[in-house]
Structure 1
Amino acid sequence: MKKWILGLAMLGGMHTLTAQIDHSTPTAGKSWLAGGAQESYLSSPPLPLPALREADILWEKRIWRVIDTREKINFPFRHPAHSLFTALVAGIDSGQLTAYSPADDRFSEPLAPAAIWNRLNQTDTITIIDPITGAYQQQVVTNTFDPARILRWRIQEVWYFDTRHSTQQVRILGLAPLLETTGEEGTTVSYESPLFWINYAEARPWLAQYAVASSDNDHSRSSWEDLFAMRQFSAYVYKENDLLGRRLQDYRSGEDLLRKSKQIDRDLQHRKMDVWSY
């Protein structure tokens, strides 16, 4: 009797589950709850930044950092389907985001999407043999850019002390993907150059729509805007705003360069704590 009742209950549960799934439309784009395999993510607009007046700022310092995507905490930056580069390029191609010239990190010169892709998708001429005639022919091919080549990001931020709220805060100003340049003979050149700059204040609403890949809980994921707001990334200082506008590598090297980078970070944290020291 118990087995018979249990069997009816299981059949009823299967009928209820089947009734919830609509098989009349294609499953492309549907979440697994609706019978598809699409990952579900409900985006929300970013929280507005706190009101800040020029008169409220007692002290500020501009810092440039580098995010190395090969560090474990930065692995989401390299996800094949949910990378930061993919999200930004989608916004640039759709006209929702503006890319700025890499020559100036003040966002003064906009770049057309075509100019970016002309640099990324490089063309080359190769020699092929016609399988029928055996004659040599020249053919132009386009090398499609692989986002996995973006190994590091440059981030520009400003630290400031807000006298109105008596707190030290930080705001991200811009993001730039760095591309490693390769020499003519296949040797890697020892410098990187930014592809373009993105004004982070303009990009916040767009980045809030794109989820960050998570290794723990696929159902509870944060957006790229959440990641930067909570500073869930690792980065080191490579430049500070000084009198000569120098990078750290211009006057430090080796272990001295690493110590100087960490010292700048410590000074920022100590300044925050020393405000309340008597």
Structure 2
Amino acid sequence: MLALGLTLLFTLPGTCGRAQQATLPAPGSPAVEKSFPTPVNDIVADRQKTQSPALAGTPLRAADVMWQKRIWRTIDSREKINLPFAYPPRPLVSLLVEAADAGKIQLYSTIDDKFTTPLSALERTAINGGADTVAIIDPRDQSVSYRAVPRAFNPADFRRYRLQEITYFDKAAGSMRTQILGIAPLKDVYDETGNYLYEIPAFWVYYPAAREMLATEQAYLEGNDAGNRSWEDLFESRFFNSAIVKESNIHNRRITDYHADGRSRLLEAERIKAGNLAREQDGWSH
């Protein structure tokens, strides 16, 4: 029994050594690469994306429109309900610019509010804030030349959006309805020292032609990361807060043109809103 134990004692280390040598690659041979599964940044790999087409609008005859009023609104992305407009990974302005670059939608000039003039190449550059002139030195002869370099697009410069819409009374449906016509991101303009000066509309997007694209783009849904809400859903359900800044009038004035302080502007906006609601009751009474 003692002899058997000594035999195992001297044979086991040699066996372990041969096993280790069998697993090590030979010197100079290529290392064997192990394949790893592709990481999925979610609990499921086949998360269904927003692909539902935009629902067709209700047919509307000119004879059924008994009354209509054109309204301009502003949406401030700093308000809590409007935070999806400034969702850092993909804010709305980035979505619109990328869709235009891909040929999915058309951007229109802000020369008017009628979607008559597509943006030129120079105006597309102005969305980024123009271009900077950069000096280029040739190392061979030290000659200097200048080149215009477009500035990088910064979505943080767009904190508010302008909506153009028409509120109308549909006689066939017997109700007041609202149709969004256009969306215009408002760009903040600063001076050389970084002080805020004013905001200007960067471009117009004709909303009825952009609905199909917006129906395939997901809008962040607060409180539910598995939510499948599209931007078209957000606009059609009017899941945003906005302030009226203008209604169509004979003088083409904005509320700021005849009301100086903020409180008066809010009261005027509420008066316009209440007047539009009263029109629905007038439609029923007549």
Range into which the TM-score falls when normalised by the shorter chain:
0.7 to 0.9
Secondary structure class of the residue paired with 1:62: strand
Rg larger in 1 or in 2?
2
- Number of positions where the alignment pairs a residue of Structure 1 with one of Structure 2: 249
The alpha carbon displacement at 1:272 in A equals: 2.4
Unaligned runs of 5+ in 1: 1-22, 129-134
Secondary structure class of the residue paired with 2:44: helix
Residues 183, 204 of structure 2: 8 Å contact kept = yes
In structure 1, give the amino acid aligned to 2:184: A
Find the aligned partners of 1:96 and 1:114 in 2 and give their Cα distance.
Answer: 20
- Please list the CA deviations of residues 185-217 of structure 1 after superposition, one character each: whole Å capped at 9, or x if unmatched: 43321x321000000010000000100112211
Report whether the alignment pairs 1:78 with 2:86.
yes
Distance 1:58 1:67, change over 3 A: same
Find the aligned partners of 1:31 and 1:231 in 2 and give their Cα distance.
Answer: 29
Aligned residue in 2 for 1:15? none
- Please list the CA deviations of residues 138-161 of structure 1 after superposition, one character each: whole Å capped at 9, or x if unmatched: 997654121021110000000011
Find the aligned partners of 1:161 and 1:223 in 2 and give their Cα distance.
Answer: 27
| TM-score, normalised by the number of residues in structure 1 | 0.79
- Please list the CA deviations of residues 2-61 of structure 1 after superposition, one character each: whole Å capped at 9, or x if unmatched: xxxxxxxxxxxxxxxxxxxxx9897378864238xxx64232001100000111100000
Find the aligned partners of 2:196 and 2:153 in 1 and give their Cα distance.
Answer: 17
Secondary structure class of the residue paired with 2:97: helix
- Note the aligned Cα RMSD (angstroms): 3.2
Secondary structure class of the residue paired with 2:256: helix
Q: 2:44 aligns with which of 22, 30, 33?
A: 33
Residues 82, 213 of structure 1: 8 Å contact kept = no
| TM-score, normalised by the number of residues in structure 2 | 0.77
Residues 50, 230 of structure 2: 8 Å contact kept = no
In structure 1, give the amino acid aligned to 2:108: Y
| 103-112 vs 80-89, greater mean Cα deviation | 80-89
| 226-235 vs 251-260, greater mean Cα deviation | 251-260
Distance 1:277 1:28, change over 3 A: farther
Distance 1:71 1:138, change over 3 A: farther
Aligned residue in 1 for 2:16? none
Find the aligned partners of 1:193 and 1:119 in 2 and give their Cα distance.
Answer: 10
Find the aligned partners of 2:204 and 2:249 in 1 and give their Cα distance.
Answer: 21
Report whether the alignment pairs 1:164 with 2:172.
yes
In structure 2, give the amino acid aligned to 1:219: A
- Please list the CA deviations of residues 88-108 of structure 1 after superposition, one character each: whole Å capped at 9, or x if unmatched: 112100111100001111000
Find the aligned partners of 2:177 and 2:114 in 1 and give their Cα distance.
Answer: 21
Find the aligned partners of 2:122 and 2:266 in 1 and give their Cα distance.
Answer: 38
- Please list the CA deviations of residues 44-82 of structure 1 after superposition, one character each: whole Å capped at 9, or x if unmatched: 001100000111100000000000111100000000123
Residues 122, 144 of structure 1: 8 Å contact kept = no
Aligned residue in 2 for 1:61? 69
Aligned residue in 1 for 2:28? none
- Please list the CA deviations of residues 110-168 of structure 1 after superposition, one character each: whole Å capped at 9, or x if unmatched: 1146631344154335799xxxxxx9x99976541210211100000000111111111
Report whether the alignment pairs 1:234 with 2:241.
yes
Aligned residue in 2 for 1:250? 257
Residues 125, 138 of structure 1: 8 Å contact kept = no
The alpha carbon displacement at 1:269 in A equals: 2.1
